[in-house]
C-alpha cells in the first residue's frame, strides 16, 4: 500500500556553496546514484527556493532545498505495540523488533511514532530504539515531562537495562566497557558510528547471565547514550551480537560492508527502565516482556529470563 509521500527539506549550508545541485543531492542522499537523482530531477521532484530544478544549478548558502518524494510502498514492519504505562504525563510501550521508532530509511507511516500518535496524539518519544531492537520506549505527553526526562536521560537518575545475545564465550563474569564511540568512514553511507579512539567517552556495564557452547547472554546497563552503543561496545570486547550484519570483533563495520545500521538479524531487548516520575516523583519500574522467537528461545534455554539493554 502506498504512503502519502514526503517532502524532505534542507537548508544549503555554507560548506556546500557552489556545488552543482546534482552532486550535492548525490552526496546528501548517498543511497541513490547520481543517475537516479538525475531521473528524480527530470521528474520535477526537486526545488530550490520553490523553483523546479534541473540539477545543473550551483547551490547557494541559505537556499531551501526540497525533494518531494512521491508516494512509495514501505518495507514490511510490525503494526502493533503493547502499552506498559499510560497516565496524563507519560506513555511507555513495548516496541516489537522490526518497527522503526521514527521515520527514516524508507519508513514513514510504518513507524512506532505514527502508530502511537494515532491513539495518543500528544505523545512524543523521549528516546529511540534501533529498528531491530525491541522493548521499552518512553513517550512524554506534556512539554514539562519531556523537558525533565530529556535533562535526566543520560544520568544515573534513569536506569536502562538490556539483554543481548552475543557471539563467543565470555572469559569474565562482568565487564566495564569504556570504548569511545565516534563516526568512522563508510563507503556506502559516508560515515557510521563505531569504535573510535578519538570518539566520545562512553560507558557500559555488561554482566554475564549465561553461557552456551558458542554464545553468551549479557545484561547490559548503559551509563551513556551513544548511537548503537551496546552493539559497538560488546563487539569491541570480542562479543558482537549474534547475527549483527554491521559490527565485527573490534567494534568497527565488517569488511565488505554487508550491513547498514538499520539492518536486523540480532537479538537486543530493552527490558527494564527505572526512573522517578518527572511530575509526581513516584518511582517507575517498567519491564517489557521478552519477545517470542528463535533468539529469545535460545536465550531462555541458556538459563534465566533475559534483560537486554536499550539503545538510546
Instruction: Report the CATH architecture of 125-130+149-302.
Output: 2-Layer Sandwich (3.30)
The residue with greater pLDDT, 311 or 197, is 197
Q: Is the pLDDT of residue 283 over 70?
A: yes
Grid coordinates 514539562 are at which residue?
A: 144
The residue with greater pLDDT, 256 or 4, is 4
pLDDT reported for residue 187? 77
Is pTM beyond 0.75 here? Answer: yes
Q: Domain boundaries in the chain?
A: 6-69, 125-130+149-302
pLDDT reported for residue 292? 78
Confidence of residue 306 (pLDDT cuts 50, 70, 90): very low
Q: Nearest-CA neighbor of 247 among 152, 164, 306?
A: 164
Per-residue pLDDT of 223-282, as tens digits, reads 999 999 999 999 999 999 999 999 999 999 988 767 777 788 899 999 999 999 999 999
Per-residue pLDDT of 127-171, as tens digits, reads 999 999 999 999 999 999 999 999 999 999 999 999 999 999 999
Strands (E), 74-158: 82-86, 90-95, 124-125, 134-140
Q: Is the pLDDT of residue 312 over 70?
A: no
Q: What is the arithmetic mean of pLDDT over 11-28?
A: 92
Question: Distance between CA 249 and CA 253 in Å, rounded?
Answer: 9
Q: Nearest-CA neighbor of 175 among 89, 129, 235, 94?
A: 235
Answer whether 146's CB lies under 8 Å from 124's CB.
yes
- Long-range contacts of residues 187-194, Cβ cutoff 8 Å, at least 24 apart: 187/257, 188/30, 188/257, 188/260, 189/30, 189/260, 189/261, 190/27, 190/30, 192/246, 192/253, 192/261, 193/226, 193/227, 193/228, 193/232, 193/261, 194/232, 194/247, 194/251, 194/252, 194/253
- CATH superfamily for 6-69 is RNA-binding S4 domain (3.10.290.10)
Q: What is the arithmetic mean of pLDDT over 282-288?
A: 98
Amino acid at each position: 500500500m502506498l504512503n502519502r509521500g514526503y517532502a524532505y527539506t534542507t537548508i544549503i549550508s555554507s560548506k556546500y556553496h557552489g556545488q552543482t545541485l546534482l552532486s550535492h543531492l548525490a552526496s546528501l542522499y548517498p543511497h541513490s546514484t547520481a543517475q537516479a537523482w538525475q531521473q528524480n530531477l527530470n521528474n520535477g521532484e526537486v526545488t530550490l527556493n520553490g523553483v523546479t530544478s534541473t540539477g545543473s544549478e550551483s547551490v547557494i548558502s541559505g537556499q531551501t532545498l526540497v525533494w518531494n518524494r512521491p508516494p512509495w510502498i514501505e518495507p514490511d514492519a510490525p503494526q502493533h505495540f503493547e502499552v506498559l504505562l499510560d497516565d496524563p504525563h507519560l506513555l511507555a510501550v513495548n516496541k516489537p523488533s522490526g518497527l522503526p521508532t521514527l521515520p527514516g530509511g524508507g519508513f514513514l507511516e510504518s513507524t512506532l511514532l505514527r502508530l502511537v500518535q494515532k491513539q495518543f496524539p500528544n505523545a512524543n518519544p523521549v528516546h529511540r530504539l534501533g529498528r531491530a531492537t525491541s522493548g521499552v520506549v518512553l513517550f512524554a505527553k506534556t512539554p514539562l515531562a519531556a523537558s525533565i526526562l530529556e535533562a535526566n536521560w543520560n544520568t544515573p537518575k534513569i536506569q536502562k537495562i538490556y539483554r543481548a545475545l552475543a557471539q563467543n564465550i565470555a572469559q569474565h563474569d562482568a565487564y566495564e566497557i569504556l570504548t569511545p564511540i565516534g563516526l568512522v568512514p563508510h563507503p556506502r553511507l559516508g560515515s557510521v558510528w563505531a569504535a573510535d579512539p578519538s570518539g566520545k567517552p562512553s560507558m557500559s556495564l555488561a554482566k554475564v547471565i549465561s553461557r552456551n557452547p558458542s554464545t553468551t547472554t549479557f545484561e547490559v546497563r548503559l551509563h551513556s547514550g551513544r548511537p548503537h552503543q551496546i552493539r559497538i561496545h560488546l563487539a569491541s570486547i570480542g562479543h558482537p551480537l549474534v547475527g549483527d550484519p554491521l559490527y565485527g570483533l573490534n567494534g568497527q563495520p565488517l569488511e565488505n560492508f554487508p550491513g547498514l545500521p538499520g539492518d536486523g538479524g540480532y537479538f537486543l531487548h530493552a527490558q527494564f527502565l527505572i526512573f522517578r516520575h518527572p511530575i509526581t516523583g513516584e518511582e517507575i519500574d517498567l519491564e517489557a516482556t521478552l519477545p517470542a522467537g528463535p533468539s529469545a528461545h535460545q536465550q531462555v534455554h541458556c538459563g534465566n529470563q533475559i534483560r537486554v539493554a536499550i539503545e538510546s
